[in-house]
Amino acid sequence: MIRPGCIWHPIPLRALPALTDIRYERTADGIAKMTICRPSVRNAFRPQTLRELEHALMHARDTPSIRLVILTGEGTLAFCSGGDQSARGHGGYVGHDGIPRLAVLDLHIMMRRLPKVVIAMVAGYAVGGGHILHLVCDLTVAAENAVFGQTGPKVGSFDGGYGSSYLARIVGQKKAREIWFLCRQYSAEEARAMGLVNTVVPLEELEVETVKWARQVLEKSPTAIACIKAAMNADGDGHAGLSQLAGEATRMFYQSEEGKEGKKAFLEKRKPQFVPYVQETLRPTPPTVMTAGVVEEETRRRAKL
């Protein structure tokens, strides 16, 4: 049994009044929890599950009083077993609209773009696409019974996105290839040793410990957290990642008097007055070996030889 870490209150979603595949809850102090509730299939996701998670993530993004998200699976047997193989059709996973999609890839991007920390709380299996879901989270707290691994090459699928390149950045190329080519399963302790999870705790303490981690994050500056998450993602996300990081900078600039002067002047049909905002800029540290004095001294020393 997993001991509750705090009191959870259901969050209604206006866009999706009835949630069938996930539970969406929050604490009074700003932690949201999204639980995949399909334990009979080890919390495998189908298109409806992904749709509900997407709406919950949008809600978490747009709700200032939500500061952090915990992603988990119902029960103790599985965090998530990946794509629901019974929903797999020709060219993707098929939902109510009959259109085959690989929608989990969009969910990965939404999770990385959320300017708030996402913690995976893992009990039991995190395999296949479920393993990638925890991988994409910012932090992972695993129970001692957690099991990690990729299954794609066994069931005829693969994730060449974050599931490959980001995995390799975390565990190294050789280990990532082993994980994919051999489809082995790894214990929580093995995953921790590989840098795949942050901590391993007794199953009973999983939620208590995860909430403890979450509350330590909540004590920190939300802007610093959002910027550091964007900066770390920018390294792997190219222009899209830089755009996210720059978006955080723009948000702060909009809040400044200098930024507001530009808009005000435009609306008042006058020239903007930016002079009061001229400020110190970052200056590079002078490279010591290249200073004129050092070069001269080196030239003299060589001339003597």
Give the binding site for ligand S0N (CB under 6 A): 41-42, 44, 77-78, 81-86, 93, 102-105, 125, 127-129, 151-152, 155, 157, 159
Instruction: Give every CB contact of residue 129 below 8 A, 6+ residues apart in sequence.
Output: 45, 80, 82, 83, 104, 157, 159, 163
CB of 181 to ligand S0N, least distance (A): 15
Nearest to ligand S0N of 128, 241 (CB atom): 128
CB of 78 to ligand S0N, least distance (A): 6
CB of 131 to ligand S0N, least distance (A): 8
CB of 124 to ligand S0N, least distance (A): 8
Instruction: Give every CB contact of residue 137 below 8 A, 6+ residues apart in sequence.
Output: 71, 111, 118, 119, 120
Nearest to ligand S0N of 27, 72 (CB atom): 72
* Rounded Cα distance, 100 and 235, in Å: 31
Residue nearest to ligand S0N (CB): 82
CB of 212 to ligand S0N, least distance (A): 28
Nearest to ligand S0N of 155, 295 (CB atom): 155
* Rounded Cα distance, 18 and 276, in Å: 53
CB of 127 to ligand S0N, least distance (A): 5
CB of 24 to ligand S0N, least distance (A): 21
Compute the CA torsion angle 258, 263, 268, 274 (nearest 10 deg). Answer: 30
Nearest to ligand S0N of 159, 237 (CB atom): 159
* Rounded Cα distance, 169 and 123, in Å: 24
H/E stretch holding 231: helix 222-254
Nearest to ligand S0N of 85, 187 (CB atom): 85
Pairing of strands 68-73, 117-122: parallel
Closest-CA residue to 36 (of 122, 164, 138): 122
User: Nearest 5°: phi and psi at 131?
Assistant: -65, -40
Nearest to ligand S0N of 28, 155 (CB atom): 155
Nearest to ligand S0N of 79, 213 (CB atom): 79
Q: How far is CA 41 from CA 35, 80, 82, 86, 135, in A?
A: 14, 9, 10, 10, 21
Q: Are 142 and 185 in contact (CB under 8 A)?
A: no
